[in-house]
A and B are shown apart, each in its own frame.
Chain A
Amino acid sequence: MGTLEAVLLTIATAATPLLIAAVGELVVERSGVLNLGVEGMMVMGAVTGFAIALMTGSAWLGLIAAIIVGALFSLLFGFLTLTLVTNQVATGLALTLLGLGFSGMLGEGFVGQPGVKLASVYIPGLSDIPLVGKLIFGQDPVFYISIALTAAVVYFLFKTRAGLTLRSVGDNHGSAHALGISVIGIRYMAVMFGGGCAGLSGAYLSLVYTPQWTENMTAGRGWIALALVVFASWRPWRVLAGAYLFGAVTIGQLHAQALGFGIPSQLLSSLPYVATIIVLVLISRNKRLTMMNTPASLGRPFVPDR
C-alpha cells in the first residue's frame, strides 16, 4: 500500500464521524431546532459503543447501542426545548456538559482497555486494484453508511413530501402549524434522528478511528460538526465536502507532526480549530448568502396557541 493511498484512507476515516454527526444536525436545524449538544451526544455514543462492543465482543452491537443511546439522550434536549420551551442554546450546552460528565463516569473502568475494532470490508479482486481499490471497495462499513446516509438525507429533504414538510416547519413554524402540521412532533423526530447520528459518529471514534476509550475523546468534533452545517449553508453534499476538507486538515497536521519540520506539535494540533474559525468567517462574511440559506425559524421557540 503506497503512502498516498494510506493518507487518502485515513482522511476518509477522519472525515466520516464529522460527516455523520453534521448530516444529523443538518436535519435537526432544517426543522428549525438548534441543538448545541452534538458533542455531548457524540461522547455518549463513544462510551456506549465501546462498552457494549467490549462486553458482547461485537462491534456492530456497539454501533447499534450507540445510535439508541444517542437518540434517547437527545430526547432530554427535546423535552426541555420543545415541551418546556427552554432556551435552545443554553439547553444544548447543558446536554454537552451532562454528556461529558456522564461519559466520564460510565467510562472510568474502560480507560486503557483494548477495544474491539470494526473490521473493514474486503472484496477479493476489487479491493486489490491499485490506489483506488481500497479507497472505494476496502473501507470500513460505516464509511459506506455515511455516504448512503448523506444521499438518503438529500433524497428525503428535497424529493419527498415528508422532507418538504420538515423544511416548512423549519422555515415558518407558524404557517406549518396553521396547515395542521404537528410542528412539535416533527421536531421531536428530527432531534432524535440527530441524536442517533451523533451517537453513531461517537461510536465510530471509539470502534474504528481509535479503538479505545479516553475521557473527552471527541475533542471538539461535535462542535466542528456544528460549524460544518453553517459552512455548508445547510446543504448535505456541501457538508460532505466540508467534512473531507476537515479530514484532510486533521490528517495533514498529523503527518506533519510525524515528519517534524521543527514546527511545534501543539501549533499543528490547533490547526483544525483555527481552520474552523477561518471557514466560518469566510462563509458568514457574505451576509446575504447566509440569510438566504438559514432556516428562518432556526432557534426560535414555538408554543402553539389554542
Chain B
Amino acid sequence: MMRIELVKRPQHSVLFSALSPFIAFGLTLVAGAILFAILGKNPASALYFYFIDPLTEVWSLHELAIKAAPLILIAVGLSVCFLSNNWNIGAEGQFVMGAVAGSILPVLFPEFQSWIVLPLMMLMGIAGGAAYGAIPAWLKVRFSTNEILSSLMLVYVAQLFLDWLVRGPWRNPEGYNFPETRNFHDYAVLPEILSSSGRAHWGFLFALIAAVVLWFLLSRTLKGFEIKLLGQSPRAGRFAGFSSSKMVFFAFMTAGGLAGLAGISEVAGAIGQLRPVISPGYGFTAIIVAFLGRLNPLGIVAAGLVLALSYLGGEAAQISIGVSDKTARVFQGMLLFFVLASDALIHYQIRITRPQTERTGEVSHGNA
C-alpha cells in the first residue's frame, strides 16, 4: 500500500497560491462530469448548459450580476472576519436583518416619497446588518462565547423574525392575505444599471465598490496589517498595541454591515418587497466565495461570478436537460472541498511513499 505524506515547504508556494483556485475549479468540473454521468446525462452537454449557456445572452449576464452582487458583498466582509480569525458564519441572518431594517421606510411609511428614501434605506440596511453582527461579537468579547455557534443560531432567529413580520404586522393590507409586504414605491426601488438590456441593478456596483475599498484597506493600510496580524498571531498583535476585542467588533460589524447592504439591495433591487424567504442561502454560499477568492477582495469578485454562474447554471440545466437544480448546491459544496484540498499544496509538498521507505523511516524514528 502506498502512503500519502505531507512535507512542509520552507516557504509557502507562490505558484500554487495562484493556481489553487483553478485546480479546485477544474477538479469540481471533473467531479461534476462524473456526477452527471451517474445521473444518466451526457456530461459534456450538462456542463455546457451549466457553465457556458448562461453566458451566451445579454439578459442572462444581467441575471449573473444580480446573483453575484450579494455573494460578493457578503464575501468581502467575511474575508475581514476570516483573516482576523473571527468565524462569522451568520451572514445569512445579517443579510435578513439588513433587509428588514432597510425596508422600514417603504413598508411602514409608504406615503413618505422622496429621493432621500433610497439612500436612507441603504444606510438603515447597513446599520441593521451591522447591529445584528455585533451580537455574536459582543458575546465573544464579553463572555468568550463561541462565535461560530452563536452567529449561526442567530440565522434561524432572523429567518423566523422575518417570517413573523411578513405574515403578521407587516403583511400587505391589500394583499389578499399573501405572506408578503406591500410593493415598494418607485422611490424605494434600486435603479437598473442598463434598463434597456436587463434587470441588473445598482447592487452590483455596490459590490464592486466594496471590493475595491476593502482591497485597498487590506493591502495598503495599517488597518489591513492589523487585521492579518491579529488573525495570524494574536500575541504578536497585542505586543504591537492592537486590541483584539475591538477587532472582533470591527470584523463582525463590517461583515454584518455589508451583508445588510446586500440584503436591502436584494429586496429593493431584485424583489421589490419583503417575503418569508428572500435568499437562496447567499450568506452560506458567500463562505465558499470568500475561500475560493483566497480571502482577497479582488479574487472574491471573480469567485462571486463563478458561484453566481452555478445558481444560473442549475436553473438552465433543469430547464434544458432535466437535471435537478439542486445539483447547484452539490457543485458549490464540492467546490469548497476542492478549494480547501488544493490549498494544502500551498504549504505542503505531497509525497507518496512506498511501504519500504516507510519502515526504515519508523526504525530511524525509534532510534532517535
Contacts and interface: CB of A to CB of B under 8 A. Distances in A.
Contacts of B160: 266-267, 269-270
Given A94-B337, A280-B146, A306-B361, A220 B153 contact: yes
B8 A303 contact: yes
Given A102-B330, A108-B326, A276 B344 contact: no
A227 interface: yes
A277 B152 CA distance: 10
B153 A276 contact: yes
A93 B283 CA distance: 13
Contacts of A80: 337, 340-341, 344
Interface in B1-56: 4, 6, 8
Interface in B323-358: 324, 326-334, 336-337, 340-341, 343-344, 347-348
Interface of B: 4, 6, 8, 87, 89, 139, 143-146, 148-150, 152-154, 156-157, 160-161, 163-164, 167-168, 284, 287-288, 291, 324, 326-334, 336-337, 340-341, 343-344, 347-348, 361, 365
A223 interface: yes
A281 B164 contact: no
Given A85-B6, A108-B326, A267 B87 contact: no
A284 B361 CA distance: 44
A145 interface: no
B326 A105 contact: yes
B334 A280 contact: no
Interface of A: 36, 76, 80, 83-87, 89-91, 93-95, 97-102, 104-105, 108, 219-220, 223, 226-227, 230, 264, 266-267, 269-270, 273-274, 276-277, 280-281, 284-285, 287, 290, 303, 306
B335 to A, nearest CB: 9
A99 B156 CA distance: 19
Contact of B168 (A264, A270, A277): A264
A85 B333 contact: no
Given A84-B344, A86-B344, A284 B144 contact: yes
B333 A98 contact: yes
B281 to A, nearest CB: 9
Contacts of A223: 149, 152-153
Contacts of B6: 83-85, 303
Nearest to A84: B344
Nearest to B328: A101
Given A93-B89, A264-B164, A266-B164, A98 B330 contact: yes
30 contacts: A86-B343, A90-B291, A90-B336, A91-B337, A97-B288, A97-B333, A98-B336, A101-B326, A101-B331, A102-B333, A104-B326, A105-B326, A219-B156, A220-B153, A220-B156, A223-B149, A223-B152, A226-B149, A266-B167, A269-B160, A270-B160, A270-B161, A273-B154, A277-B139, A277-B153, A285-B143, A287-B144, A290-B144, A306-B361, A306-B365
A101 B164 contact: no
B253 to A, nearest CB: 18
A290 B341 CA distance: 32
A273 B164 contact: no
B333 A277 contact: no
Contacts of A219: 156
Q: Which among B156, B167, B284 has the greatest number of chain A C-beta atoms within 10 A?
A: B156
A90 B340 contact: yes
B285 to A, nearest CB: 8
Contact of A273 (B143, B157, B328, B336): B157
Given A98-B333, A264-B168, A85 B344 contact: yes
A276 B149 contact: yes
